[in-house]
Copies of this chain bind each other. A is one copy, B any other.
Amino acid sequence: MPTDGDTPRRRRSLDKGRMEAFSDGVFGFAATLLVANLALRPPGTALQQLFHAWPSYVAYYIISFLTIGAAWLAHTALTDRLAQADPIFLRLNLLLLLVVVFLPFPTRLLADTLHQTSSQRVFVTLYGLTLLAIRLMGAALAAYARREHLYSPHEDGGDLHSDQRKLLPVVIGYVIAILIGLALPELAVALYFGIAVYAIVPFREVARLLFRRS
């Protein structure tokens, strides 16, 4: 029920519903595009091809899916607490989506050059930089919303803070993994995998579940 006093404010702030719908679509597409690029390479029997391509599924497909999943979860937590979006927030959100949508490209490059260590060094670096950029853009979005007081007034920001609690370890982890990847690309991929799992697992809830059970 918009009152006269409410209307001018509503006009300046923008509807967040469509931003969420558009973002959900883009996150979902980017996640699905990952598998559109999966392919087997000719030499060998079907079974040999599958085992040969195995790392590409496990490592790249799953890391990328988990990273997009974690970015989507963080985005959900952020916009859920948002009272309003302003024009700059909407553009920053588009920049986040620009990086998310880019992820299938380095993922495919890596999967295509499996077992070619010279190219892999370059592509693993590009891949790590993209993963890092997704995380940083998400953090920038949250920082802008906090700075511009876009959150609902009755949100104390406690949960949001907990959502962003893993930010520093994750960013440091990516920087270390990217540097290691310049020399040892396969170790970097293992680290990316570890970071993706660390970023998405809700340790507190899992612990609560485990302790309650015992």
Chain A contacts to B: CB under 8 angstroms:
7, 11-12, 14-15, 18-22, 24-36, 38, 40, 45-47, 50, 61-62, 65-66, 69, 72-73, 76-77, 79-80, 86-88, 90-91, 94, 97-98, 101-102, 104-105, 109, 113, 118-123, 126, 154-155, 158-159, 200-202, 205-206, 209
Contact = CB atoms under 8 A, between A and B. Distances in A.
A119 B42 CA distance: 12
Main secondary structure of the interface of A (DSSP, over half): helix
B29 A122 contact: no
B27 A29 contact: no
B15 A65 contact: no
A110 to B, nearest CB: 10
A105 B57 CA distance: 11
A40 B113 CA distance: 12
Nearest to A12: B159
B46 A123 contact: yes
Nearest to A4: B154
Nearest to A29: B32
